[in-house]
Amino acid sequence: MEINGRIVVITGGGGGIGRAMASAFADAGAGAVVVADIDGDAAERVAANLRATGHEALGLRCDVSDEADTIAVVDAAVGAYGRIDIFCANAGIVVPGGVEVLDAEWERIWEINVRSHVHAARAVLPAMLERGEGYLINTASAAGLLTQIGSAPYAVTKHAAVALAEWLSITHGDAGIRVSCLCPQGVWTAMTGAPAEDFEAGGDDGLNVENGDGQQRDFAVSTAGRDGMLMPAEVAAAVIEAVADERFLILPHPVVAEYEVRRASERDNWLRRMRRVHAMIMASAKG
């Protein structure tokens, strides 16, 4: 899809990957970027920065676990700009732990990492289908193609996010709906222990990860970051490239494709290798 002139909505746009995508879409010529985030002030700061550089942008508060909030964002975007061409369901959280994690936390991560994508598709699909054109970008994770050591809720919900994106592509692809699923490994964001102020202040360049949450940072590098931690701007660049190609899987870490093939073709061997990795990481975490 040609991005120039398109109306783009991004949830979780107040920081990290979402903030970088907002800048990337604006720089690629989007007609307007609607930035939505549970932190409404952060969303407005991102939008204000875009407006200051000559781009059309709107910042809105949105709790993606509340369907009414997503509908309100869609209504505001359509009211301001007439339509939505690209909807990026990007908001997500991680909950550490296994099956012992309390039901309330399982419900919370399910609402944000999975059901929010359902809400988004439900809100924008009717108008897109009527026009015969639209683009859905769902942020999942390499964990949705592989797994996430140390977090069963994250692995399970990200697998579900990938499955939903595939279903949407299969069901509506012939009706003009394009779908991409973003599946990075480690990215320096607040979720991986990078300090939010580095993203708020000067953008992603010169990020000082040493100021972040040390334990969270070390865990990110030892699990999702084993093949290198990327900056959000690098992930956003991969998104722009994939949209131009209308490519389903967006893999900022290309090696993930190789891992997925091994997982599918040598499942038992893959599980054995992952158990060894799990043991090494857990031993390292204990000091």
Q: pLDDT tens digit string along 60-85?
A: 999 999 999 999 999 999 999 999 99
Lowest mean pLDDT among 89-93, 119-123, 222-226: 222-226
Q: What is the mean pLDDT of the chain?
A: 89
2, part of any domain: no
81 is catalytic: no
From the candidates 81, 135, 154, 259, which is the catalytic residue?
154
Residue 1 forms part of a structural domain: no
| Structural domain boundaries, residue 79 | 7-285
- Domain total of the chain: 1
Residue 117 within a domain: yes
DSSP conformation class of 238: H
For residue 257, count other CB atoms closer than 10 A to its CB: 13
Q: What is the pLDDT of residue 129?
A: 98
Domain assignment present for residue 39? The answer is: yes
| Mean pLDDT to the nearest integer, 22-32 | 98
Phi, psi of 151 (to 5 degrees): -150, 95
CATH code of the domain in which 159 resides? 3.40.50.720
**35 or 225: which leads in pLDDT:** 35
What was the pLDDT predicted at 220?
A: 46
262 within 8 A of 270, measured Cβ to Cβ? yes
Give me the pLDDT at residue 209, please. 32
241 has pLDDT over 80: yes
Q: How far is CA 113 from CA 116, 118, 189, in A?
A: 6, 10, 16
pLDDT at 230 over 80: yes
Tens of pLDDT, residue by residue over 128-142, are 999 999 999 999 999
Q: Please tell me which residue, 215 or 16, carries the higher pLDDT value.
A: 16
Distances (CA, A) of 110 to 53, 136, 183, 215, 216: 37, 19, 17, 25, 21
Q: Does 73 map to a domain?
A: yes
Give me the mean pLDDT over the 272-278 stretch. Answer: 93
pLDDT at 272 over 80: yes
Q: How far is CA 193 from CA 102, 129, 209, 210, 276, in A?
A: 23, 40, 7, 9, 25
Residue 253 lies in a domain: yes
- Answer yes or no: is 107 within a domain: yes
- 277 is a domain residue: yes
Contact 119, 67 (CB under 8 A): yes
CA distances to 11, 41, 119, 204 from 48, rounded to whole Å, are: 16, 10, 27, 17
The Cα 26–Cα 50 span in angstroms is 7
Tell me what pLDDT residue 284 has.
76
More confident residue, 196 or 274: 274
